[in-house]
Amino acid sequence: MTKKKIAIPGEKLCSATKAIPGENVIVKRQKIYSAAFGEVILDKENHIHVFPLREVNFPRKNDLALGIVYNTTEILVWVRLVCALRNNKIIPYNGIFTGVIHRSQTGMVGDPRQIFGLGDIVLTRVLSSEFIPLMLSTREPKTGIVAGYCNKDGSPLEKRDEQLFCPLCEKPVRKKMSIHYNFKQFRALFFQYYEVKRTYVV
């Protein structure tokens, strides 16, 4: 064995011309991808394998995942995910995983840069977990912003009469809010897991 590293499902390992597919990998368009979360091994015969690690948690399709918005464009919202809520339990991920919300999946009509803002903490539905970035959605009532900030002045937003309100601007803010919005609770929950994982971002 000559080379070792950790890979996640859907991560590109190398070109199919550089190595021979081994265990727990898939080949697509002449490229070899990991099919598991585990240790990558390139053996002496140039076979590339991924041996699964035990007790690992990574995003699954249909997960209700908690993350933070770190970039927005007119088409996509980029999110870093830290944990899932499965069967009323919090499942921390083994690292921070990158996902995107397409404008068609925001649950609101308009520019994603207005509907979400940098630093907003969101609950998202994982639509696909095969490749990075993960495909996410906030179209359900339970998904959306659970701890948000005003895009103009950065003030924490309050929930008033089923909408978000900026206490500094003294007016409502149009954003995709989750029915579970609770600024203090979800901000604390997010950073509880983010601080211990930010050295491993996928």
Q: What's the pLDDT score for residue 56?
A: 66
All domains of the chain, ordered by start, with CATH?
3-52 (2.40.50.100), 64-194 (2.40.50.140)
Please tell me whether residue 103 adopts helix, strand or coil conformation. Answer: helix
Please tell me the predicted confidence (pLDDT) of residue 39.
84
Distance CA 192, CA 168 (A): 27
Tokens of 63: 């997960």
pLDDT at 68: 97
pLDDT score for 86:
87
Per-residue pLDDT, 54: 61
Give the model's pLDDT for residue 193: 83
Closest among 37, 35, 10 to 95, alpha carbons compared:
37
Task: Enter the pTM of the model.
Answer: 0.73
Look-up of token digits 């933070």: 68
Give me the sign of the Cα torsion angle 52, 57, 58, 60: positive
Kindly give the confidence (pLDDT) of every residue in the chain, 202 residues in length, as a single tens digit, with 9 standing for 90 and above. Answer: 344 578 877 888 999 999 999 988 999 889 999 887 788 888 889 999 988 776 567 888 999 999 999 999 999 999 999 999 988 889 888 778 999 999 999 999 999 999 999 999 999 999 988 788 999 999 999 999 999 999 999 999 999 988 999 999 999 999 999 999 999 999 999 998 887 554 445 5
Cβ contact 115:47 at 8 Å: no
Rounded distance between C-alpha atoms, residue 106 and residue 176, angstroms: 7
Residues, the chain: 202
CA distances 201 to 168, 188, 197, 198, Å, are 34, 20, 8, 6
- Structural tokens at position 31: 């490229």
Nearest alpha carbon to residue 187 among 82, 40, 36, 99: 82
The pLDDT of residue 202 is 55
